[in-house]
């Protein structure tokens, strides 16, 4: 009971979080963008789907917006993928790198209630937030 009960649904264990899926126009091109941006290898690519690791056990799936089923209702930018870094200097360094790469910057580095952050967009308009959490 207690803490363990929060991670059970009836008698079944909680499913593992394993994928972030983004709907994109061109999965191979998006995979190349993310592989270069994040320094991660592309592990699968086809005209309709591509995949690369984000972290141990969590993959980034890039699915063709035209073939995803059921069809996507929301447009890119309706949610965001967030990446944490070590400190405010790393936020600034990542910002400078991504700006130099030509990413569309939606929010320059700023201190917010949860920490120092900035937001950029990928070529499809998906929001990418980089932040360092505020000290607890």
Render pLDDT for 16-33 as a digit per residue (tens, 0 to 9). 889 999 999 999 999 999
> Could you report the per-residue pLDDT of 81-136, keeping only the tens digit for each?
999 999 999 999 999 999 999 999 999 999 999 999 999 999 999 999 999 998 74
Please give the span between the terminal C-alpha atoms of the chain, in angstroms, as a whole number.
28
Contact between 65 and 92 (Cβ < 8 Å): no
pLDDT-based confidence at 36, cuts 50/70/90? very high
Q: What angle do CA 34, 90, 115 make, to 5 degrees?
A: 100
């Amino acid at each position: 009971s207690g803490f363990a009960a929060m991670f059970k649904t009836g008698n079944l264990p909680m499913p593992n979080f394993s994928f972030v899926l983004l709907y994109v126009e061109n999965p191979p091109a998006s995979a190349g963008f993310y592989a270069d941006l994040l320094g991660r290898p592309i592990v699968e690519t086809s005209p309709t789907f591509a995949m690369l690791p984000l972290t141990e056990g969590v993959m980034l799936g890039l699915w063709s917006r035209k073939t995803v089923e059921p069809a996507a209702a929301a447009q890119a930018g309706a949610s965001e993928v967030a990446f944490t870094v070590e400190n405010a200097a790393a936020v600034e360094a990542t910002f400078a790198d991504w700006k130099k790469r030509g990413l569309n910057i939606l929010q320059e580095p700023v201190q917010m209630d949860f920490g120092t952050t900035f937001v950029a967009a990928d070529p499809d308009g998906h929001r990418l937030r980089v932040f360092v959490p505020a000290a607890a």
